[in-house]
Structure 1
Amino acid sequence: MTAVLWMKSSCTTCRNAKARLAELGIEVEIRDYYRKPLATVELEGLLPNDPAPMLGTKSPRYKELGLKDRKLTKAEAIALMIEDNNLLKRPILVHPKGVIIGFDSVAYEKLVP
């Protein structure tokens, strides 16, 4: 399985994550979900049953919808993310050794054999 970095190319944090992975020699397939939004089936496979860690809390839409005080079901989160993909926290690294949400250089280093 090839590792996939789900990111938004205009996001500085995502670009930093991509650069760090390259520095570490970790090959990834880049998936810019802003240019090619995720399908419902992709989100179903990506999100855990409790989608809270996958929500982009810095998104204006997150604040507008008052999501901080709500516990969304996986289906509710997916429906909202289909409407506005900025609600998905980024970047997301899907690697054979696990999924890393957000840019975490230390976690990336642990993936190096």
Structure 2
Amino acid sequence: MKPVLWMKSSCTTCRNARAKLAELGLEAEIRDYFKKPLEAAELERLLPDDPAPMLGTKSPKYKELGLKDRKLSKAEAIQLMVQDNNLLKRPILVHPGGVIIGFDSSAYEKLVS
């Protein structure tokens, strides 16, 4: 399975993640989910039962909806993320060695060691 980097091309952190993958020689399929939004079925496969780590807490929509004080079910999170992709924390690297949410340089390095 080829790794997939789910990202937003205008996001600096996402671009840093992509550059780190290139630096490590790790070829990944790039999926800009703002150009091609994630569908509910894709999110169903991607999200853990507790979707909290996948929520983009810096999103204005996150604050607007008061999600900080709510515990969302997976189904609720999926519905909200389909409506507004900014609620999905980025980037997300899906690799045979695991899923990394957000950019963590050392975690990326561990995947290739």
Residues 1:47 and 2:81 are matched in the alignment: no
Q: Give me the CA root mean square deviation.
A: 0.5
Residues 1:69 and 2:69 are matched in the alignment: yes
**Distance in 2 separating the partners of 1:18 and 1:92:** 11
**Distance in 2 separating the partners of 1:45 and 1:69:** 25
TM-score, scaled to structure 1: 0.99
- The one-letter amino acid paired with 1:50 is D
Residue aligning to 1:2: 2
Structure 2: 5+ residue stretches without partners: none
Residue aligning to 1:94: 94
The 3-state SS of whatever aligns with 1:82 is: helix
Structure 1: 5+ residue stretches without partners: none
Deviation, 1:60, is 0.1
The 3-state SS of whatever aligns with 2:6 is: strand
TM-score, scaled to structure 2: 0.99
**Distance in 1 separating the partners of 2:111 and 2:49:** 25
